[in-house]
Structure 1
Amino acid sequence: MVPTDMAGAAEIARAVASGAVSARAVTEAALARVTALNTRLNAFTDLLPARALAAAEAVDAARAAGRGSGPLAGVPFAVKNLFDIAGLPTRAGSLINRGRAPAARDAALVRRMEAAGAILLGGLNMGEYAYDFTGENVHDGASRNPHDPSRMTGGSSGGSGGAVASGMVPLALGSDTNGSIRVPAAFCGLFGLKPTYGRLSRAGSFPFVSSFDHLGPLARGTRDLALAYDAMQGPDPEDPAQAPRAPEPVLPELEKGADGLRIAVAGGHFLRNGDPECFAAVDRVARALGATAQIELPEAARARAAAFVITASEGAALHLDRLRVRPGDLDPATRDRLIAGAAIPAAWVNRAQRFRRWYRDRVLALFEGTDIILAPSTPCRAPALGQASILMDGATLPLRPNIGVFTQPVSFIGLPVCAVPVWVDDGLPLGVQVIAPPWREDLALRVARVLERLGVARSRIPS
């Protein structure tokens, strides 16, 4: 019997495909673990045992009939509750959305995961409307960090981080607008992949900031990330922002190593604004890779400011009717930021967008001489639940908006990133961003795999 709490997706899929264990047995074990742990960790908001068991039986039947079982055969997974799940309202972490009609069909990426043999267990907790870095939801309660339940998972894909880090599932899907995959990956000690903007279909997911929104997986290992990512690739006309690119599988590239890759550490903005341990994690990764060069992303702090302007304005435009009709049903922190966003002058937004184009051109020019850029994922380890402030660069600042100080300048222009978990001592994990040029997820995953093989980047399930 595969120990499903400890096994990764690749190990489970191999065991199911070989007949060493049935998909139903794996699914039953995963459901039992969710039931045992979720009361304490609050990762799941919706559990679908009947659907999951029926899907598992279908995988077993396909294998028995010799029809093949798929690269993710019998692998349990769950999704942030902004993904459409047929038969459930797509709540997107909100109270208001619970009155919506149930989704008529699953989100595109859910369908692709299931086509590869994966088993959906349910929907996961998240920050309201994804406008959150903490994982604290006022309607469903906070997601709790499996390494220390008194601490945050990070957000807004907090339930995704908690579910994978605790061993409830080996894979979860999240979204990342300004850092919402990379932050939970850092706080929960996971690998997370934010693909290039436009790479994976967003059809059937509730938006936040359409010009920034990405979807992607979290896992406890690079091979599992690659399996899930490859299963989800492919053009989808239902997402107009998606690039019409043929799938470019990364799994065959994963073991190619990092020899010959030009790797640099992000300087300037990315060497300030954080705790020393965050920079120590980057240094450990750089040393392991033999990376001695330093590179500076031009005007990274201004890029972050422009990301704030566009996020607030675009997010507010999406929620204007909710602000008018049901303001009392919004998290006050979310509501106030949306109101502020609605008041931003159009001239400011236009200026931010013009700067965005300038910044993208300058950063892409850096990749003419560099293949990979390393940077911290967060300015601190997982804060305590309820913590309101953070010390950054000698100043005490509000915690919630500043957790994304290192992620926002990257997602602002849609670069692919593999977030890797690093422990620099016996404390909580830290995260490092492995940033690649557009459409080169393979490079980011290759470097992450090298770090994993060296033991520098690793995930561990708390006892």
Structure 2
Amino acid sequence: MTGFFAGRTLDGLGRDLRSGAATAAGLLARALESVDPSLNAFVIVDAEGAAAAARTADEELAAGRDRGPLHGVPVAIKDIIDVAGLPTGMGSDHFAGHIPERDAACVESLRAAGAVIVGKTTTHEFAYGASGDTAVNGPSRNPHDPSRISGGSSGGSAVAVAAGMVPLAIGTDTGGSVRIPAAFCGIAGFKPAYGAVPTEGVFPLSVSFDHVGVLAATPADCWTAYQVLKRPSPGDAEPAPVPGDIRVAWVESGPVERDVAETVRRLVPDALPVRLDLRELRRIFAAIQDSEAYEVHVERVADAPELYQPVTLDRLRRAGETPGWRYVRASRERARFVEEAAALLRRHDVLALPTVPITAPEIGRLECGLGPVQPALLSLTCPWNVLGLPALSVPAGTVGGLPVGLQLVTAAGREELLFALAAGTAA
């Protein structure tokens, strides 16, 4: 955690920029100096394009034009999100040399806010994995222990923030791909409600579950970035008031390593235990995601299977075996659980549980104390993608020297509750 931005917040950087204590060009230089190739956070760094954006940001501030809290701030973008003029490879040989002509919608929002795009970050191939260790450019590495996974699939974005290379990074989250690496790398990660941030220009994994999310050192910085990225809505002018006493429920989540559960539970000791069938939600998630992922890739699997990483190809072929009736039934059952979760969130303001039930395993490890690694990584995060609810992972301390996360979930439109609670609970 030696990069310049370690321990720095967007609020502090903004004060420095506006007081003249820092410049956008100077912050960019610090970001470029902080990039640690050994952690494999970045696929490409766009020093020239970022320098031009930083010059513009400085010129605008000098002329009195302030675009807001991200003006002049270095930001990294996950490599399944289009950035005009930069390669977008999806972590795969299938898209070697692919250069989009247009920015994704979320990148357009960042540029309009004056952010400086530093480069593209490592993604698990096609975002189809929660470990972050399968990509044509190799695994992103956990800055707390480079022999361990970063988590994925937005691993490079999490590593770039956790190691202080940038103060903010954008990722995607289909089953936990922002929250899992945030927890493993000891930072905050926010998955907004489904559809709250546009996904145009993001390569699809599972269109029913795909979300754009943010990773930052603190929950407050995630909130700041979310305000820039979210779609305007009629309720924006009058946010719901945050109650003085937030009612928190602890979701009995099933298998969790004991030290992880005890460490996370200490942050919300008064939360009342409740039950939601996460096991069944995981089954729904698997049926829908597998069907939709295979639909995206069916021609590539048939025509050029050799261009996939072997692990990805095997997952896709198994996904293609999902029968149509299972997808239809899972879609119907999903609607029932949406209603059940809504009823639960009428009785409680926020649901709490660990983000991941284990600490970060070693790179390449396939089994953990709870069974196969990949299902364990997704087990507590994917249900909230099925339900489309906003979910925030905040640092909850360490177990054996490795970070763990507390996951907070609420109803769409009540996101302020997550961040108000996180302000008082984050370790």
Distance in 2, Cα, partners of 1:404 & 1:215: 17
Q: Give the equivalent residue in structure 2 for 1:370.
A: 348
Cα-Cα RMSD: 1.9
Q: Give the equivalent residue in structure 2 for 1:264.
A: 249
Q: Give the equivalent residue in structure 2 for 1:85.
A: 83
Q: How does 1:253-402 map to 2 (within 5 A)?
A: 259-267=244-252, 270=253, 272-287=254-269, 290-291=270-271, 293-297=272-276, 299-392=277-370, 397-402=371-376
Residues paired across the two proteins, number:
425
Change over 3 Å in CA distance of 1:56–1:196 after alignment to 2 = same
How far 1:234 moved relative to its partner? 2.0
Secondary structure class of the residue paired with 1:430: strand
| Letter in structure 1 aligned against 2:23 | S
How far 1:145 moved relative to its partner? 0.4
Distance in 2, Cα, partners of 1:380 & 1:16: 40
Change over 3 Å in CA distance of 1:284–1:190 after alignment to 2 = same
| Letter in structure 1 aligned against 2:108 | R
Note if 1:151 corresponds to 2:148.
yes
Q: Give the equivalent residue in structure 2 for 1:141.
A: 138
Change over 3 Å in CA distance of 1:227–1:323 after alignment to 2 = same
> Which of 221, 224, 228 is the equivalent residue of 1:227?
224
How far 1:204 moved relative to its partner? 1.1
Note if 1:33 corresponds to 2:31.
no
How far 1:89 moved relative to its partner? 3.3
Question: Residue deviations 1:420-462, cap 9 Å, x none?
Answer: 11115561110111110122211111111122xxxxx24xxxx
| Letter in structure 1 aligned against 2:257 | D
Distance in 1, Cα, partners of 2:350 & 2:151: 25
Question: Residue deviations 1:68-88, cap 9 Å, x none?
Answer: 242212211101101101112
How far 1:65 moved relative to its partner? 1.2
Question: Residue deviations 1:328-364, cap 9 Å, x none?
Answer: 1111121112112222111111011111111111111
Please say if residues 24 and 54 of structure 2, whose CA atoms lie closer than 8 Å, have aligned partners that are also in contact. Answer: yes
Secondary structure class of the residue paired with 1:368: helix
| Letter in structure 2 aligned against 1:197 | Y
Question: Residue deviations 1:128-181, cap 9 Å, x none?
Answer: 111111110241111000111111100000001100000000100000001101
List alignment gaps of at least 5 residues for structure 1.
236-244, 452-456, 459-463
Question: Residue deviations 1:215-247, cap 9 Å, x none?
Answer: 110000122111111011225xxxxxxxxx347
In the superposition, the TM-score normalised over structure 1's length comes to 0.88
How far 1:93 moved relative to its partner? 1.5
Please say if residues 192 and 217 of structure 1, whose CA atoms lie closer than 8 Å, have aligned partners that are also in contact. Answer: yes
Change over 3 Å in CA distance of 1:166–1:424 after alignment to 2 = closer
Distance in 2, Cα, partners of 1:283 & 1:29: 37
Distance in 1, Cα, partners of 2:398 & 2:31: 31
How far 1:19 moved relative to its partner? 1.6
Q: Give the equivalent residue in structure 1 for 2:20.
A: 19
How far 1:409 moved relative to its partner? 1.4
Distance in 1, Cα, partners of 2:409 & 2:149: 25
Change over 3 Å in CA distance of 1:234–1:123 after alignment to 2 = same
In the superposition, the TM-score normalised over structure 2's length comes to 0.95
Please say if residues 125 and 160 of structure 1, whose CA atoms lie closer than 8 Å, have aligned partners that are also in contact. Answer: yes
Distance in 1, Cα, partners of 2:217 & 2:349: 24
| Letter in structure 2 aligned against 1:50 | E
| Letter in structure 1 aligned against 2:145 | D
List alignment gaps of at least 5 residues for structure 2.
none
Please say if residues 91 and 123 of structure 2, whose CA atoms lie closer than 8 Å, have aligned partners that are also in contact. Answer: yes
| Letter in structure 2 aligned against 1:41 | L
Distance in 2, Cα, partners of 1:89 & 1:316: 24
Q: Give the equivalent residue in structure 1 for 2:55.
A: 57
> Which of 70, 79, 104 is the equivalent residue of 2:68?
70
Q: Give the equivalent residue in structure 1 for 2:126.
A: 129
Please say if residues 44 and 120 of structure 2, whose CA atoms lie closer than 8 Å, have aligned partners that are also in contact. Answer: yes
